[in-house]
């Protein structure tokens, strides 16, 4: 029987008691590089089938692989960004198997001696807490080609454009306990890869995909047998696979069955996993060191230069935003999730501090709130990222500076921002043209208050007879008479004494 799982604890309530899910992910991330791992062919996405294929990628006899230094550098940088051990000596192995999209008959990969060893990723969970997930290894390998079954009624075609493209396989330890943690892991990994530019993280183009390993056990007990669901290409699907697989396994076990260690596929139409083949073991691949490639030795210079090339990483940025700028962990987390968002926020804050003469610390919370609610709200609706914002950071700062110095109210700023976002025009210009300046002149406001009171003698009498609620009515009338431009703080201050007589 299926029963709802407790998403927070990763506990599944079965008929025979509680079960705990255990998850480990193998993420394949395509290395950002113009050329493939062992050939000069282009790695560009799209393009006509078999247009980016060199003789090496097509496995013509006698061709020799030549290692692409940029892919090595990117793998080292990624290992460093994951706080992982860099192995100065690593080895490329042949992983032998037969498949139509693998003309070599083997994939060049790394088995016993990967380029990167143990590391760690810190997950930012929804409740604001963090959790560390250990990385077991990162190794480099070639991608295979693609079989296309939808081009002809009775034949399968093969496209070798991806054949030989460099992948980093990043393997986690089985440290995750909920689908939400696995989602947070993939998002965080993607954020880190994008920050350092070693993978574009575009899951919809296949640049990042995950093999999802799931098992269940009695809470805290021995690890159960896992299944591995291959090539899952979105965070949502990864989470669905985990929920589905864990529940399926509990049902099998509670019915007295056993879990087979096998490879499965996610059926996106039916939202179920299906068996693909029984799990192959390492010896099935008859791994051996590729005789065409020397062991890879990294120089100290390469390692030092790779480290020096890393930008400030998301965890460090988040720490700085909370410790130095006083942002909440939640807001800081939202801002650093994409490098472009964090860059936008920092450029805005600098420009705003310049424009107002106030300190960044005093302005940071307001600036963060505006970026997260107003700007991101509009960008999300328009399907744009911060880097494509029609309102630049200095333009955003100009708008917020007008609120800071009292020229316009926060309410008016929202309307002005609408126009800026549509037209790309500056805030000052729009405020001027539409006459939106806030009225902060007490004399002017007082005169309007007098008119409003004179025009509403009935309400005034009721107010004075004790109907306090009517204060709101008078505030509303004054705002209306000024077209919403009266400084609301000033209205409240001046109105009450006059009403009280």
Q: Is 173 in the site for ligand ADP (CB under 6 A)?
A: yes
Q: How far apart are CA 21 and CA 30, in angstroms?
A: 29
Supply the minimum distance, in Å, between the C-beta of residue 213 and ligand ADP. Answer: 3
Going by C-beta distance under 8 Å and a sequence separation of 6 or more, which residues neighbour residue 172?
24, 25, 26, 27, 121, 133, 134, 135, 136, 185
Within residues 23-82, the interface with Mg ion by CB under 5 A covers 26
Which residue in 14, 24, 314, 396 binds ligand ADP (CB under 6 A)?
24
Contacted by 172, from ligand ADP, Mg ion, none: CB < 5 to 8 Å by type:
ligand ADP
Neighbour-count burial of 90, counting CB atoms closer than 10 A to its CB (0-12 exposed, 13-18 middle, 19+ buried): buried
Partnered with residue 125 across adjacent β-strands are none
Candidate residues 177, 209, 226, 317; the one interacting with ligand ADP per rule CB under 6 A: 226
- The structure tokens listed for 440 are 């902060």
Tell me how far, at minimum, the Cβ of 222 lies from ligand ADP, in Å.
9
Nearer to Mg ion, 262 or 319 (CB): 262
Cβ distance to ligand ADP smaller for residue 54 or 90: 90
Asked if 26 touches ligand ADP (CB under 6 A), the answer is yes
**Closer residue to ligand ADP, CB minimum distance, 177 or 194:** 177
Judged by beta carbon, residue 174 or residue 390, the one nearer ligand ADP is 174
Number of C-beta neighbours around residue 28 at 10 A: 20
Q: Which residue, chain included where needed, has tokens 């089985």?
A: 174
Among 49, 174, 206, 484, binds ligand ADP (CB under 6 A): 174
Binder to ligand ADP among 58, 171, 252, 302 (CB under 6 A)? 171
Q: Say how many residues make up the chain.
A: 501
User: How is residue 329 written in tokens?
Assistant: 């962990």
Size of the site for ligand ADP (CB under 6 A): 16
To which residue do tokens 């037209």 refer? 423
Spell out the SS3 assignment of 475-493. Answer: HHHHHHHCCCCECHHHHHH
Pairing verdict, β 227-232 and 262-267? parallel
Compute the distance between CA of residue 364 and CA of residue 366 in angstroms, rounded to an integer: 6
Stretch (H or E) spanning 277: strand 272-278
Judged by beta carbon, residue 114 or residue 201, the one nearer ligand ADP is 114
Helix/strand/coil (H/E/C) assignment for every residue in 261-276: CEEEEEECCCCEEEEE
Distance CA 267, CA 240 (A): 11
Compute the Cα dihedral for 72, 75, 79, 85 and give only its sign: negative
Among 78, 172, 240, 341, binds ligand ADP (CB under 6 A): 172
User: How many residues line the site for Mg ion (CB under 5 A)?
Assistant: 1
Stretch that binds ligand ADP, among 58-66, 79-87, 170-178, 437-445 (CB under 6 A): 170-178
Q: Quick one: which of 12, 25, 196, 420 contacts ligand ADP (CB under 6 A)?
A: 25
Answer with the entry of Mg ion, ligand ADP, none that 24 interacts with (C-beta below 5 to 8 A by kind): ligand ADP
223 contacts which partner out of ligand ADP, Mg ion, none, CB within 5 to 8 A by kind? ligand ADP
Binding residues for ligand ADP (CB under 6 A): 22-26, 171-174, 213-215, 223-224, 226, 228
Binding residues for Mg ion (CB under 5 A): 26
């Amino acid at each position: 029987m299926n029963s709802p799982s407790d998403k927070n604890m990763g506990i599944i309530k079965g008929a025979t008691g509680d079960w705990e899910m255990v998850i480990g992910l193998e993420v394949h991330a395509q290395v950002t590089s113009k050329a493939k791992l062992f050939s000069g062919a282009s790695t560009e996405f799209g393009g006509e089938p078999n247009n980016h294929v060199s003789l090496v990628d097509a496995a013509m006899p006698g061709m020799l692989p030549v290692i692409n230094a940029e892919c090595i550098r990117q793998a080292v940088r990624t290992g460093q960004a994951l706080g992982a051990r860099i192995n100065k000596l690593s080895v490329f192995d042949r992983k032998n198997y037969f498949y139509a999209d693998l003309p070599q008959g083997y994939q060049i990969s790394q088995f016993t001696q990967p380029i990167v060893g143990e590391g760690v990723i810190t997950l930012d969970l929804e409740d604001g807490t963090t959790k560390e997930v250990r990385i077991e290894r990162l190794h480099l390998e070639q991608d295979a080609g693609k079989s296309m079954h939808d081009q002809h009624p009775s034949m399968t075609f093969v496209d070798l454009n991806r054949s030989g493209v460099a992948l980093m396989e990043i393997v986690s330890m089985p440290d995750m306990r909920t689908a939400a943690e696995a989602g947070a892991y993939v998002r965080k990994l993607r954020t880190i890869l994008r920050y350092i530019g070693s993978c574009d993280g575009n899951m919809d183009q296949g640049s990042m995909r995950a093999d999802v390993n799931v098992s269940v056990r009695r809470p805290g007990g021995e690890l159960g047998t896992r299944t591995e669901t291959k090539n899952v290409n979105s965070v949502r699907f990864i989470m669905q696979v985990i929920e589905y697989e864990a529940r399926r396994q509990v049902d099998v076990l509670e019915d007295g069955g056993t879990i087979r260690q096998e490879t499965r596929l996610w059926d996106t139409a039916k939202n179920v996993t299906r068996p693909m083949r029984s799990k192959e073991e390492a010896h099935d691949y008859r791994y051996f060191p590729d005789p065409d490639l020397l062991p890879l030795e990294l120089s100290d210079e390469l390692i030092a230069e790779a480290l020096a090339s890393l930008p400030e990483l998301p965890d460090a940025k988040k720490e700085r935003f909370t410790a130095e700028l006083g942002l909440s962990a939640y807001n800081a987390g939202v801002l650093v999730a994409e490098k472009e968002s964090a860059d936008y926020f920092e450029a805005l804050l600098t420009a705003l501090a310049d424009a107002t003469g106030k300190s960044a610390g005093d302005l940071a919370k307001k600036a963060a709130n505006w970026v997260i609610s107003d700007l991101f709200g509009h960008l999300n609706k328009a399907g744009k990222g911060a880097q494509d914002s029609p309102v630049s950071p200095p333009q955003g700062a100009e708008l917020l500076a007008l609120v800071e110095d009292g020229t316009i109210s926060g309410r008016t700023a929202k309307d002005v921002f609408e126009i800026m976002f549509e037209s790309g025009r500056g805030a000052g210009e729009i405020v001027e043209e539409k006459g939106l300046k806030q009225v902060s002149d007490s004399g002017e406001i007082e005169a309007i208050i007098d008119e409003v009171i004179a025009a509403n003698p009935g309400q005034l009498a009721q107010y004075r007879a004790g109907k306090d609620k009517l204060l709101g009515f008078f505030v509303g009338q004054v705002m209306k008479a000024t077209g919403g431009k009266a400084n609301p703080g000033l209205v409240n201050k001046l109105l009450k004494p006059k009403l009280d007589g």
